Structure 1
Amino acid sequence: MPSKRLLTAQKFISYFATLDQTVLESILGENYYHQFAPASINPPGPFDRNGFLAHTSGLSRVMTGFPVFAKEYIESESSNQVVVWATSKTEFREELKDDGIPREEWEYAGEYVFMFTMDENGEKVVRCIEFLDGAATPRLLELAKRARVNLEQIETSL
């Protein structure tokens, strides 16, 4: 039977498929800390619980999902941690994809490592260090920015 810490890590990873904020709200500890790495790509953050929830809530404005697929889970009972090696793909909202770039370029795929530290019960994540794909993340940021601009144009034309 999987441990609570492993189930909590799996639940965190599952969040990205639907971007349902209630999933994150249910598993992030009150003292949650999130940091993106490596620093060389100048990622946003770090974030506390409220900051991370605000950051992730913006994803659903431009995406219907951002499924993350775990390739491997490594669990440490002694440190109460789970490390996840994963890949992802984006699902940008169709109405935000413009013809300025080919459709297939809206299909971003990346690779990640999540390092989760759990609370004493293993039911809440208290810390996550998320290593982003250094080569691919700049492209994701460009696509997200373009989608946000397209969203603003749609909203102002209504």
Structure 2
Amino acid sequence: MTRTRAQLLHMAKSLFEVYNKWNLEDIMALRTSDCTHNVLPSSLGQAPLDNNAFRQFVENLMIGIPKGFNFTIDEKAPLVDESAGKVIIFARSKAETVAGPYANEYIFVITVDESGTKIARVDEFVDATIVKEFLPRFEAAMAKVA
């Protein structure tokens, strides 16, 4: 079954809507049972996350980012590949964290399953410089919270 452009864009936007709600069960409900999430570039050393690892990752983030993220997406420029079931989208985020304000830019490659109703894979390219500068402060603040 070919997923339509509208279905693919709907799923991509849904991902950011649930991230902005910051509810773990809503986030997980969008994912296929074998969904993987990759935080890139590989220089960050983040292993691919299956659903169990991703759930744990988000649960930990929720401690340090209790009010969640505010994602905005560039709706004028998504790239959609209907035959591959992929959407490539530019996004920005802001968040208040236990270590202070955080902001980043992203390119997300979102792969939607054959039904067009679940996300099968997320490749999240972050600004590695921002992550590398922020992560030590965040980890130190998280150690005080835990």
The reply to whether TM is greater than 0.5 is yes
Aligned residues of 2:38 and 2:122 also touching (Cα < 8 A): yes
Gapped regions of structure 2 (runs ≥ 5): none
SS of aligned partner of 1:46: coil
Gapped regions of structure 1 (runs ≥ 5): 98-105, 153-158
Cα shift at 1:39: 1.1
Q: Distance between the aligned counterparts of 2:14 and 2:79, measured in 1?
A: 15
Q: Distance between the aligned counterparts of 1:40 and 1:56, measured in 2?
A: 21
- Cα deviation, 1:4-63, whole Å, max 9, x if unaligned, reads 221111111122223211221211001101111111222x22111121121112111111
- Cα deviation, 1:80-114, whole Å, max 9, x if unaligned, reads 1111111111222xxx45xxxxxxxx222111111
* Closer/same/farther in 2, CA of residues 9 and 112 from structure 1, 3 Å limit: same
- The equivalent residue for 2:56 is 54
Q: Which among 117, 120, 124 is matched to residue 114 of structure 2?
A: 120
Amino acid at match of 1:116: I
The within-5 A match list for 1:11-30 is 11-30=14-33
Q: Distance between the aligned counterparts of 1:67 and 1:144, measured in 2?
A: 18
The within-5 A match list for 1:26-41 is 26-41=29-44
Q: Distance between the aligned counterparts of 1:124 and 1:82, measured in 2?
A: 13
The alignment status of 1:150 with 2:108, answered yes or no, reads no
% identical equivalent positions: 25
The within-5 A match list for 1:60-71 is 60-63=62-65, 64-71=67-74
Report how many aligned residue pairs link the two structures: 140
- The equivalent residue for 2:104 is 110
Aligned residues of 2:19 and 2:27 also touching (Cα < 8 A): no
The alignment status of 1:84 with 2:84, answered yes or no, reads no
Aligned residues of 1:36 and 1:130 also touching (Cα < 8 A): yes
Aligned residues of 2:80 and 2:87 also touching (Cα < 8 A): yes
Cα shift at 1:65: 1.0
Q: Distance between the aligned counterparts of 1:147 and 1:18, measured in 2?
A: 23
Greater CA radius of gyration, 1 or 2? 1
SS of aligned partner of 1:67: strand
Q: Distance between the aligned counterparts of 2:71 and 2:141, measured in 1?
A: 20
Amino acid at match of 2:102: Y
Q: Distance between the aligned counterparts of 2:40 and 2:128, measured in 1?
A: 9
Taking structure 2 as the reference length, what is the TM-score of the superposition? 0.86
